[in-house]
């Protein structure tokens, strides 16, 4: 299996699939091709959420604002999974979610003849590399790729001519919120950050859901906001804080867009304060 | 084969596919993931239109405004087809289209440990259930699932531990229009309802196409409107009534949106009157 | 393999897939279903760009403003590839890109019982025809369809009962730009045309990239505009001319829409003038 992720829209990913079909008949599964444009951080967030659901696979992920600037193309082994991506950090958060620990992650650079060419790297670099890796893995494991253990995957990648160990790959780490607790040990002031906005305008923060769940109200950047388990708990157009399926606190609007109502963008700071705390 | 339908957008359906791939290699076909949000009626309309084109399959359909409220999750057998869906009625119109008659429909409730949990039920309940049913069917029929007769499907579902006969499943029935006929027996006044709006803004009513087809003009809520076989029969921006591929009368605008021009929304009443009838 | 292309959005293509699955288990790959509505020229442009990446396949492409007007439905063999499409020219530019030369292209008309019916031709004509061709090819080549040479494909199509040689198929040829050169032989005045607008608003012209690449500035319809290899070379909201992965000069805006900024639409003329030429 090869999964495909990009911010290309259509029909560009189809060109990548055509190239892959010249190398292998492996199943192709689209993760998303409408990710926020040129935002490796959003791609990292969503891939960390989705890829751990999959059995071992090759994941080709291209959100690449640096195309044409000489950035490297990399291959990351995380356990029995392989990611093929530009070297801008997007592969690292999902890799850590897929690997048992940091020692279970290895990174190679893909040798590209003219790394700064103006070609379509998704089609000309990432897709064929993913296809060749898939074919190599299937050959080394007699096609039972799902059962490949991480050692077999590592050996197959080591044997590939155009991969060499990466010397200084770019990392991307999501920030942790800072939490001040009150006398009872409850979270009272939480300084978090916006990780991503989904296509419905829901503002996904880095604040773990357990810090807000169970409250009735919380202040978001000063404004008292209901905390609810479902959108329907507030009226249409009303704001709420809820916990998404990724486990993080979200700033949302029922039947509306949270990014507009809360005036929040990816990377913005956001402060949650327990409603009984005076500031 | 498993088909997938939702209002999730991307990348959530990919998480469902990952989960399914841990259970079965069955082919996955997307019906749509951009259905109107939280509208089981629209989902029912489109599934009734699309699913009868398919050979017997497992259909996982999640449009679920009641997630987190304790609504049941159900499995519906309709002939040799199986639908896995929330118990909000969306599965019933397609089930009736897939079954030979009402006696050919059976409904089970899926036992869920904590039905009101805040998890992502598409990923945590519906996808794994669809995958396990698919695997069970493939096993019981040696993989020739397309040829499974409805009895074999029923037996396989009966044998599943976590399914129990549903006691009072939610139904959803599309209304029939009321028709007053003139002295010649022609439909003169038709009181219908809007079933769905498609992504182009075309207003799909419950009025059978044969009641409007062949006329030159018809009054829609009082306004005289041309009836045409193709959009091009009227000028850009002009209104028309036409018959869609689903067989129903639509209120459309050439190169524009019918929902805005006719001021119609799903569930609204709409009256068609023969142009020679004075009201 | 069958590829599917349309301007249908969802869920209509799923109905086509259901029909195909009644005929064949061949792999289905979506090229795009969000192509500009009713624009065969845009479809031709994108298919010419994407299809040559694929190994031999059957390509079902339905962008069909003439549905219901009695236009023919055709099958085009281009080398070992087969296109199934309405007879409006959209198949011809990709066919020429897939064939070795014009003699390597053959065209048949599909016999349709009632060509002007109001049915959903994607589902009722094009999908089943593509499926039956795929099945016939797979049978004639023992399933190793990828290896089918063009002669075997031609023979299989000739043997199909409902195909007859097309007498006067519609062609569609993209215009070539006219180029005036200066005393040094450099392109000084280029009169081109807009071929397509992509979903980001980038204006794709018919001007080959080599005529603009390497310059610092060029006049676009009189306005001096920077020529750059990447969007990031100009500020957010600023205009630029760049060369896309299809090899043509584009009129774009960094973090914005080129179609609005340059006021250009498909089919419009656009004049590029070397910045040192006085006009």
- Which residues in chain C have Cβ-Cβ distances shorter than 8 Å to B33? 10
pLDDT in tens, A93-150: 999 999 999 999 999 999 987 655 667 899 999 999 999 999 999 988 765 544 568 9
Is C147 touching A (CB cutoff 8 A)?
no
Three-state DSSP state, B246: coil
The residue ranking higher by pLDDT, C148 or B107, is: B107
Distance of CA B167 to the CA centre of its chain: 23
User: Mean pLDDT throughout A155-177?
Assistant: 95
The answer to whether B83 touches B130, Cβ cutoff 8 Å, is no
What Å distances lie between residue A44 and A35, A75, A89, A240, CA to CA? 10, 15, 8, 26
Q: Around Cβ A203, how many Cβ atoms within 10 Å?
A: 29
Least confident of A20-24, A158-162, B65-69, C9-13: B65-69
Neighbours of chain B (3+ CB pairs under 8 A): A, C
Decide if pLDDT at C264 tops 60.
yes
Neighbours of chain C (3+ CB pairs under 8 A): A, B
Q: What burial class does residue C189 get, using C-beta atoms within 10 Å of its C-beta: 0-12 exposed, 13-18 middle, 19+ buried?
A: middle
Give residue B255's pLDDT: 84
What lies within 8 Å, CB to CB, of A102 at 6+ separation is A96
Give residue B116's pLDDT: 54
Give residue C119's pLDDT: 72
The CATH number for A178-274, chosen from 3.10.20.600, 3.30.200.20, 2.40.30.90, 3.30.420.10, is: 2.40.30.90
Domains B2-165 and B178-274 share a fold: no
Decide if pLDDT at C145 tops 60.
no
Q: How far apart are CA C130 and CA C132, in angstroms?
A: 6
pLDDT in tens, B152-192: 999 999 999 999 999 999 999 999 999 999 888 888 899 99
User: Mean pLDDT throughout A161-167?
Assistant: 95
Closest chain A residue by Cα to residue C243: A118
A139: enclosing H helix or E strand: helix A127-140
- Which residues in chain A have Cβ-Cβ distances shorter than 8 Å to C1? 21
- Which residues in chain C have Cβ-Cβ distances shorter than 8 Å to B54? 17-18, 21-22
Tell me what the pLDDT averaged over chain A comes to: 92
For chain A, the domains span 2-165, 178-274
Confidence bin at B145 (pLDDT 50/70/90): very low
The answer to whether A163 touches A157, Cβ cutoff 8 Å, is yes
Is A37 touching C (CB cutoff 8 A)?
yes
Q: Which residues of C161-187 are buried (b: 16+ CB within 10 A; e: fewer)?
A: eebeebeebbeeebeebebeeeeeeeb
User: Mean pLDDT throughout B203-208?
Assistant: 96
pLDDT in tens, A26-43: 999 999 999 988 899 999
Residue with tokens 């869609």: B244
CB nearest C29 (choices: A14, A19, A69): A14
Nearest to C57 by CA among C124, C139, C145: C145
The CATH number for A2-165, chosen from 3.90.420.10, 1.10.10.350, 3.40.50.10790, 3.40.50.800, is: 3.40.50.10790
pTM of the model: 0.93
Q: How far apart are CA B202 and CA B205, in angstroms?
A: 10
What lies within 8 Å, CB to CB, of A266 at 6+ separation is A36, A39, A41, A42, A194, A195, A196, A197
- How wide is the angle at C-alpha C227 spanned by C-alphas C224 and C228, nearest 5°? 145
Q: How far apart are CA B205 and CA B249, in angstroms?
A: 6
User: Mean pLDDT throughout B28-51?
Assistant: 95
Q: How far is B260 from chain A (nearest CA, A)?
A: 19
Give residue B198's pLDDT: 85
Ramachandran category for residue C210: left, alpha or beta (phi over 0 → left; psi -120 to 50 → alpha): alpha
Q: Around Cβ A226, how many Cβ atoms within 10 Å?
A: 16
What lies within 8 Å, CB to CB, of A261 at 6+ separation is A239, A251, A253
Q: How far apart are CA B94 and CA B84, in angstroms?
A: 12
Answer whether the bond into residue B11 is a cis peptide, omega within 30°.
yes
Backbone angles phi, psi at C39, to 5 degrees: -120, 85
Q: How far apart are CA A205 and CA A177, in angstroms?
A: 9
């Amino acid at each position: 299996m090869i999964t495909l992720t990009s911010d290309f829209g259509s029909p560009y990913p189809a060109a990548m699939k055509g190239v892959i079909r010249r190398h292998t008949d492996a199943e192709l599964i689209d993760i998303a091709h409408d990710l926020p444009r040129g935002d490796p951080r959003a791609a990292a967030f969503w891939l960390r959420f989705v890829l751990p659901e999959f059995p071992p696979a090759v994941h080709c992920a291209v959100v690449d604002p640096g195309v044409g600037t000489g950035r490297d193309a990399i291959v990351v082994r995380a356990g029995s999974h392989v990611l093929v991506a530009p070297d801008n950090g997007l592969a690292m958060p999902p890799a850590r979610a897929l690997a048992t620990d940091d020692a279970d992650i290895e990174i190679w650079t893909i040798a590209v003849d003219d790394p700064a060419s103006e070609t379509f790297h998704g089609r000309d670099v990432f897709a064929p590399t993913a296809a060749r890796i898939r074919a190599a893995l299937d050959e080394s494991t007699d096609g039972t790729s799902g059962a490949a253990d991480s050692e077999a995957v590592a050996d197959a990648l080591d044997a590939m001519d155009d991969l060499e160990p990466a010397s200084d790959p770019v990392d991307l780490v999501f920030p942790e919120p800072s939490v001040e607790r009150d006398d009872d040990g409850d979270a009272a002031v939480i300084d978090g950050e916006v990780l991503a906005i989904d296509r419905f305008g829901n503002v996904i923060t880095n604040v773990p859901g357990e810090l807000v769940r169970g409250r009735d109200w919380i202040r978001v950047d000063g404004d008292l906001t209901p905390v609810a388990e479902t959108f329907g708990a507030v009226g249409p157009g009303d704001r709420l804080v809820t916990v998404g399926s990724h486990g993080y606190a979200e700033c949302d609007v029922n039947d509306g867009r949270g990014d507009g109502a809360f005036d929040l963008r990816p990377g913005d700071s956001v402060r949650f304060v327990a409603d009984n705390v005076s500031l």
